Chain A
């Protein structure tokens, strides 16, 4: 047998035994899961368990001590692991910081590879879009329609439009993420408004592509790695020093990729950029009076407060408190998840609904008229759920909410 034949034979045996070797960057996760001491604290905090019960979703502990122990059996865990929203609450409350969200992604990747038929069909549709367009959503067919939709949104929200900038060696790359790029275009424009207001030297990508988070979450590791590779090349070619994004998921995924793949560039959510780079004083100076007083609470996205840092929730509060006529009320929900995470809403809307209901109750309890979320995906998900329940609470993306209170350039 030649070397190639040997190699093909071995790979064939691994496939038959349903084994995918661990990637080197996954080893830390594998060892981390071994730290679980089965205490069950996570079960008391998991929003999915709280929302749908432990019979439907056996929870993070079972992922750590049962489902993740033997890769040849991963194929038979799809009925559980695809219900994880990846919110990271388990890891946050875990006395041993066990990386459950990461092992969930690793398991999903192996189901995708060995038993694609057991990956929910809806996720295959997303994967197809990712493969075809490099985006999580199919792009607009008619760019004029897209511009028209954008302009309508901007008009309704009273936001200006600034022309797109693409240039090399700018200080900042502004990366709106797929949701803001294709759907919630007002968030993309709001991000630009914020950067323009402080005269930041920024650029957009000439040719936008997804950071790959949806591919990671649905288990298409190969596509995820390819998208990450393309993005790294594009970012490298532009030569920017920082990345700013308005999306919570992109923030955490780009930060992870930047470290894993050696991009050597810091990634900021708009909130972080405003507090850490612009400074709350400069921001406060620019913030203008809005027409009426608003009582506001913040929905904190999992990808910010748990995958990044709880501090980001404080940043959001600081910014709202700095607004002349906004009243900030803290939600008492600490294990919040909008239910939209982990792609769960795509295939199991009842689970997503069960999870978000906890949130909606907490929002109602605050008695505010408006909830803002520093993430266009959470915003869309909560908005839809509030609308369905007939709530009068309004929903905004936080970047939009900020942009509305910043002076427009002449």
Chain B
């Protein structure tokens, strides 16, 4: 087998694609992952991280069973990045609990709680609900209560990719598939544009697994196969901090479910669900979506508009193509599509799916791939832990030992578990790397260097996905320059590329900041514009750079 021949080539580095490459490599198959951008740079990077029990999917009991299994698997293999969140469903009228399928949901939910180790759907008195969350409307009459688990979706995807590499897989980011050629009996030739070198490269896979999410239909088409997808746009509002301590879910203006979840050190309000045919890369949240979420939440959290919005984020869901029904009637399960009957042998695609079942989606697809390859290899992804779970991390002791603040280490532990030790080894060698690079996320220089050296980022945005750099209230005002300088040094970027890196990162931040900009974020923006235009002279430099404005950047 030549260097460019693979058993399995996976296209797409989201939660599913990285799960597939991990599974395939762990089974001993020679595997390659091709991702056109960075790991978790599209759909999964814009989700809330919930690994759902499937409460809303009471009409799909088998899928609920699968969700429960997967929650337990993820808690086992990625305990260090999974957390539990109590969630309230407060109502202003009892009919909200007795109608709209809630009682069916309660019933189905209750059947599976024991396995997840949580109580059944509880109904709380209004005073208890208000004690748990005083931001609720004082006139709530009761509240449902459930417990769900959440995972860091960026970290899960990166860890899956890293673990795959550890098991021998090749993982190429910034490699955009441009052509698929079916070669009878041999497999599929895959051409991709290496965005780092500008070259077109070709590899061959006996099986190609298309996990390209909202682009999956386009990938299928390259091979002459047909894949139908129902694409919907989902937007979130991100608040600057945890303004609530428990999750809240409620009915939106159109009776859809919407939620407000404390997430990391922010609060997420989401989501919308709109049919879309736009380029997922260029979508931004609309005024209507922001108002839809606010209006829906105002009934139950009256002060929601007083909170600080730092940005919006938008993703596209690649749903199963069920048409002419409301989105909440579309199955949230997934399908593994074998394109063989269409005459395209060796190509497998996904439609549908949720974050919670990404590992299972991978298992089913790799099972099918094994069948095609005639190999009976067993899946082990639900047994073997992901990196970073090798024990407890003594934050207090390490803080003392390395003179790094407890909180900086705790944030690092939340991201990385026992990997913290690797970064502290760097600090031991270079004590000056203990200094903090970001005001909102206490990311130290050593972690930036470690991530660049070990986690294959190529841009500041890639670093953001690994470190949460620039995701706080100031949205990159103070960390961008410092991190760009480190990136330039580590990757040996020239001066122009260094400045382009800064432009690209600020532009990506602008994409999410612009749509909801108001109040404090407007004042914050004045400051960031001041820093970058007046102090760094970037507005002038920009004219000399080979920088193309992004579609969401307005020109005045």
Interface residues, chain A, with chain B CB atoms under 8 Å away:
1, 3, 6-7, 9-10, 13-14, 16-17, 19-24, 27, 30-31, 33-39, 58, 61-62, 65-73, 75-80, 95-96, 118
Known: A31-B307, A62-B442, A73-B410. 15 other contacts (CB 8 A): A6-B119, A10-B122, A10-B132, A14-B132, A17-B83, A31-B308, A36-B473, A37-B473, A58-B405, A69-B241, A69-B265, A73-B407, A76-B410, A79-B399, A80-B407
Minimal Cβ-Cβ distance residue in A for B131: A21
Residues of A within 8 A of B128 (CB): 7, 10
Minimal Cβ-Cβ distance residue in A for B523: A37
Q: B473 touching A38 by the CB < 8 A rule?
A: yes
Q: A27 touching B240 by the CB < 8 A rule?
A: no
Residues of B within 8 A of A3 (CB): 125
Q: B409 touching A34 by the CB < 8 A rule?
A: no
Q: A31 touching B243 by the CB < 8 A rule?
A: yes
Residues of A within 8 A of B507 (CB): none
Distance A22 CA – B301 CA, assembled complex (angstroms): 14
* CB of B331 within 8 Å of the partner chain: no
Take A31-B306, A37-B523, A38-B524 as given contacts and tell me if A21 and B133 are in contact as well, using a CB distance cutoff of 8 Å. Answer: yes
Q: Determine which residue in A17, A68, A78 has the highest number of CB atoms from chain B within 10 A of its CB, and name it.
A: A17
A65 nearest CB across to chain B (Å): 5
Task: Please pick, from B86, B147, B239, B478, the residue contacting A34 in the complex, using a CB distance under 8 A.
Answer: B239
Minimal Cβ-Cβ distance residue in B for A95: B523
Task: Please pick, from A24, A35, A80, the residue contacting B134 in the complex, using a CB distance under 8 A.
Answer: A24
Q: Which residues of B in the span 248-299 have a Cβ within 8 Å of any Cβ on A?
A: 262, 264-266
Q: B243 touching A30 by the CB < 8 A rule?
A: yes
Residues of A within 8 A of B439 (CB): 38, 61-62, 65-66
Distance A37 CA – B524 CA, assembled complex (angstroms): 5
Distance A76 CA – B413 CA, assembled complex (angstroms): 11
Q: A21 touching B132 by the CB < 8 A rule?
A: yes
Take A6-B122, A7-B128 as given contacts and tell me if A65 and B474 are in contact as well, using a CB distance cutoff of 8 Å. Answer: yes
Q: A33 touching B125 by the CB < 8 A rule?
A: no
By the criterion of a CB under 8 Å from any partner CB, how many residues of chain B are at the interface?
A: 54
Q: B132 touching A34 by the CB < 8 A rule?
A: no
Distance A66 CA – B409 CA, assembled complex (angstroms): 13
Q: B243 touching A14 by the CB < 8 A rule?
A: no
Minimal Cβ-Cβ distance residue in B for A68: B241
Residues of A within 8 A of B414 (CB): 73
Distance A16 CA – B149 CA, assembled complex (angstroms): 14
Q: B240 touching A76 by the CB < 8 A rule?
A: no
Q: Which residues of B in the span 218-254 have a Cβ within 8 Å of any Cβ on A?
A: 239-243, 245-246
B414 nearest CB across to chain A (Å): 8
Task: Please pick, from A9, A27, A58, A66, the residue contacting B303 in the complex, using a CB distance under 8 A.
Answer: A27
Residues of A within 8 A of B266 (CB): 69
Q: Determine which residue in B134, B306, B395 has the highest number of CB atoms from chain A within 10 A of its CB, and name it.
A: B134
Chain A to chain B: the 7 pairs with minimum beta-carbon distance, closest first: A34-B308, A69-B265, A76-B410, A70-B265, A69-B241, A38-B474, A76-B406
Q: Kindly count the residue-residue contacts between A and B in the assembled complex, taking CB atoms under 8 Å apart.
A: 135
Interface residues, chain B, with chain A CB atoms under 8 Å away:
83-86, 119, 122, 124-125, 128, 131-135, 145, 147, 239-243, 245-246, 262, 264-266, 303, 306-308, 395-396, 399, 405-407, 409-411, 414, 439-442, 472-474, 477-478, 520, 523-524, 527
Residues of A within 8 A of B124 (CB): 6, 10
A349 nearest CB across to chain B (Å): 20
Distance A79 CA – B85 CA, assembled complex (angstroms): 27
Q: Determine which residue in A1, A6, A7, A70 has the highest number of CB atoms from chain B within 10 A of its CB, and name it.
A: A70
Q: A34 touching B307 by the CB < 8 A rule?
A: yes
Take A6-B122, A30-B243 as given contacts and tell me if A35 and B407 are in contact as well, using a CB distance cutoff of 8 Å. Answer: no
Task: Please pick, from B83, B84, B245, B523, the residue contacting A22 in the complex, using a CB distance under 8 A.
Answer: B245
Residues of A within 8 A of B306 (CB): 31
Residues of B within 8 A of A13 (CB): 84, 86, 147
A61 nearest CB across to chain B (Å): 7
Distance A16 CA – B83 CA, assembled complex (angstroms): 11
Distance A80 CA – B405 CA, assembled complex (angstroms): 8
Q: 17 pairs across A/B with beta carbons < 8 Å?
A: A1-B122, A13-B84, A13-B147, A21-B245, A22-B134, A22-B135, A34-B243, A34-B473, A36-B520, A38-B473, A65-B439, A66-B439, A69-B472, A70-B264, A76-B407, A76-B410, A79-B407
Q: B134 touching A23 by the CB < 8 A rule?
A: yes
Residues of B within 8 A of A80 (CB): 405, 407
Distance A7 CA – B395 CA, assembled complex (angstroms): 31
Take A27-B135, A34-B240, A66-B472 as given contacts and tell me if A77 and B440 are in contact as well, using a CB distance cutoff of 8 Å. Answer: no
Q: A71 touching B86 by the CB < 8 A rule?
A: no
Q: B473 touching A65 by the CB < 8 A rule?
A: yes
Minimal Cβ-Cβ distance residue in A for B409: A76
A62 nearest CB across to chain B (Å): 7
Residues of B within 8 A of A67 (CB): 407
Residues of A within 8 A of B119 (CB): 1, 6, 9
Take A23-B134, A70-B242 as given contacts and tell me if A31 and B265 are in contact as well, using a CB distance cutoff of 8 Å. Answer: no
Minimal Cβ-Cβ distance residue in A for B526: A37
Q: A35 touching B520 by the CB < 8 A rule?
A: yes
Residues of A within 8 A of B442 (CB): 62, 66
Q: A19 touching B407 by the CB < 8 A rule?
A: no
Distance A75 CA – B122 CA, assembled complex (angstroms): 29
Residues of B within 8 A of A77 (CB): 406-407
Residues of B within 8 A of A35 (CB): 308, 520
Residues of B within 8 A of A73 (CB): 265, 407, 410-411, 414
Distance A96 CA – B526 CA, assembled complex (angstroms): 14
B160 nearest CB across to chain A (Å): 25
Residues of B within 8 A of A30 (CB): 241, 243
Distance A6 CA – B131 CA, assembled complex (angstroms): 14
Residues of B within 8 A of A9 (CB): 119
Q: A65 touching B147 by the CB < 8 A rule?
A: no
Q: B303 touching A31 by the CB < 8 A rule?
A: yes
Distance A79 CA – B396 CA, assembled complex (angstroms): 10
Residues of B within 8 A of A14 (CB): 86, 132, 245-246
Distance A35 CA – B306 CA, assembled complex (angstroms): 10
Q: B131 touching A39 by the CB < 8 A rule?
A: no
B82 nearest CB across to chain A (Å): 12
Task: Please pick, from B135, B405, B440, B474, the residue contacting A79 in the complex, using a CB distance under 8 A.
Answer: B405
Distance A37 CA – B245 CA, assembled complex (angstroms): 23
Take A21-B131, A73-B265, A77-B406 as given contacts and tell me if A38 and B477 are in contact as well, using a CB distance cutoff of 8 Å. Answer: yes
Distance A22 CA – B122 CA, assembled complex (angstroms): 22
Q: B527 touching A38 by the CB < 8 A rule?
A: yes
Residues of A within 8 A of B473 (CB): 34, 36-38, 65
Minimal Cβ-Cβ distance residue in B for A39: B527
Distance A13 CA – B477 CA, assembled complex (angstroms): 37
Distance A78 CA – B406 CA, assembled complex (angstroms): 8
Residues of B within 8 A of A71 (CB): 242, 245
Distance A19 CA – B306 CA, assembled complex (angstroms): 23
A26 nearest CB across to chain B (Å): 8
Residues of A within 8 A of B145 (CB): 6, 10
Distance A31 CA – B239 CA, assembled complex (angstroms): 11
Q: A10 touching B410 by the CB < 8 A rule?
A: no
Minimal Cβ-Cβ distance residue in A for B262: A70
Distance A68 CA – B242 CA, assembled complex (angstroms): 9
Q: B472 touching A65 by the CB < 8 A rule?
A: yes
Q: A38 touching B440 by the CB < 8 A rule?
A: yes
Distance A71 CA – B264 CA, assembled complex (angstroms): 10
Q: B478 touching A38 by the CB < 8 A rule?
A: yes
Distance A34 CA – B523 CA, assembled complex (angstroms): 12
Q: B527 touching A37 by the CB < 8 A rule?
A: yes
Residues of A within 8 A of B243 (CB): 30-31, 34
Minimal Cβ-Cβ distance residue in B for A9: B119
Residues of A within 8 A of B307 (CB): 31, 34
A4 nearest CB across to chain B (Å): 11
Distance A23 CA – B134 CA, assembled complex (angstroms): 7
Minimal Cβ-Cβ distance residue in A for B403: A55
Distance A81 CA – B147 CA, assembled complex (angstroms): 31
Distance A6 CA – B124 CA, assembled complex (angstroms): 8
Task: Please pick, from A16, A66, A76, the residue contacting B395 in the complex, using a CB distance under 8 A.
Answer: A76
Minimal Cβ-Cβ distance residue in A for B414: A73
